[in-house]
Amino acid sequence: MSLGPIMLDVLGTALGAEDIRRLKHPMVGGVILFSRNFESPEQLRALTAEIQSLRSPHLLIAVDHEGGRVQRFRDGFTRLPPMRELGIVWDEHPAKAKTLAHQTGYVLAAELRAHGVDLSFTPVLDIDFGASSVIGSRAFHRKPHAIADLAHQLMLGLREGGMVAVGKHFPGHGFVRADSHHEVPVDERKFADLEMEDMETFRQLIGFGLAGIMPAHVIYSRVDEKPAGFSSIWLKEVLRGRLGFQGVIFSDDLSMAGAHVAGGPAQRAEAALKAGCDMALLCNKPDDADELLANLRFVMPAVSTARLLRMHGKPHPASMAKLHEDPHYLKAVHAVGSIGFHEGNLALDDPTTGKTG
């Protein structure tokens, strides 16, 4: 059975009958994990092994594991800094910051791969305009070239750890104050302004081989009346056409308020996929997931199937014990631990539900 175009979540720390039923549906191609799915490193490894056993090729297993306040797994994992901390280092010591970004990406990926997770939705490529209520310290910097420098090194570190990178939130979520989890943000800037600043980091990372991109649930009113994740103008004409992106486009969570403009669950998924997404995410709403799977009618293009298969993680250590015997890993962990953590950056997400995006 090939991978389908839908990514869902699961309810708890082990698969229940309802989870298994949903994950075996041919429209499903991936699973996203949250803090509620984590109890211990051993339990997480058992959960991912159970998910992998359901299908061949196995379902993509993803997580939002960026660092700072967006780090789903903590006990037994290295505490990762918010990306803003790397930007702070970059202001004084750019070369040191790039080395630390590489080491952070390597530790992030190596630890997740050792637990059977294929990819993390990282890095955040949004510009820190100092306005967004949801981006904040998740962004590297205000300057596009600083973001590109640091995100490129983080991407190389992820690759070293066995994982590809997924940049978000195209074409840029950092300018609007509204949180698309709860509202429908509208960015009224001209396309030329977006292209000159926000899109520049995406353009550079695409040139460096970025494997995945997640668009924003933001309406850029001077370009299209639809949010970017539902807009063929943004996804097909700009991202695929103008920027030449050939990787996977993942929708942001279709349960977020910013996605509800497209209708019910199946209508949202169909709109995202027809606009150009290869995979659509629906999280934290089991009833909506059932409605989507019952009603979605979509023939997945062969090119999307091929793109998704390239997102599986590369070979990884059999256990964290082997990583702890690796001097290279231990040196990187020590370096990551040296990165400063400033106040306001460490508030945790809701451990019960969590949010994606």
* Residue 37 token pair: 């799915």
Pairing of strands 248-253, 279-282: parallel
Q: Select from 139, 190, 208 the least CA-distant residue to 168.
A: 139
For CA atoms 190, 191, 196, 201, the dihedral sign is positive
In 174-319, beta strands by DSSP E: 186-187, 212-215, 219-220, 248-253, 279-282
CB 7 within 8 A of CB 272: no
Q: Select from 276, 134, 137, 123 the least CA-distant residue to 204.
A: 123
Catalytic residue (choose from 118, 128, 252, 253): 252
Q: Select from 121, 120, 139, 132 the least CA-distant residue to 185.
A: 132
What's residue 349's pLDDT?
46
Distances, alpha carbon 277 to alpha carbons 166, 194, 215, 289, in Å: 13, 21, 9, 18
Q: Across the strands, what pairs with 187?
A: 220
Residue 312 designated active-site: no
What's residue 355's pLDDT?
52
Residue 64 designated active-site: no
Q: Is 50 helix (H, G, I), strand (E, B) or coil?
A: helix
Q: Could you give all domains of the chain from N- to C-terminal order, each with its CATH number? A: 6-262+275-337 (3.20.20.300)
pLDDT at 133 over 90: no
Distance between the two ends of the chain, CA-based, in angstroms? 28
142 vs 233: CA distance, rounded Å: 26
- Radius of gyration (C-alpha) of the chain in whole angstroms: 19
Please report how the helices 94-114 and 144-160 are oriented relative to each other, as an axis angle in degrees rounded to 10: 40
| 341 pLDDT tier (thresholds 50, 70, 90) | confident
User: Residues 91-125: pLDDT tens digits?
Assistant: 999 999 999 999 999 999 999 999 999 999 999 99
Q: What is the pTM of this model?
A: 0.94
Could you check whether the bond before residue 169 is cis, i.e. omega within 30 degrees of 0?
yes
| 130 pLDDT tier (thresholds 50, 70, 90) | confident
What's residue 346's pLDDT?
46
Q: Which residue has the higher pLDDT, 261 or 266?
A: 266
pLDDT at 179 over 70: no
Catalytic residue (choose from 181, 198, 278, 288): 181
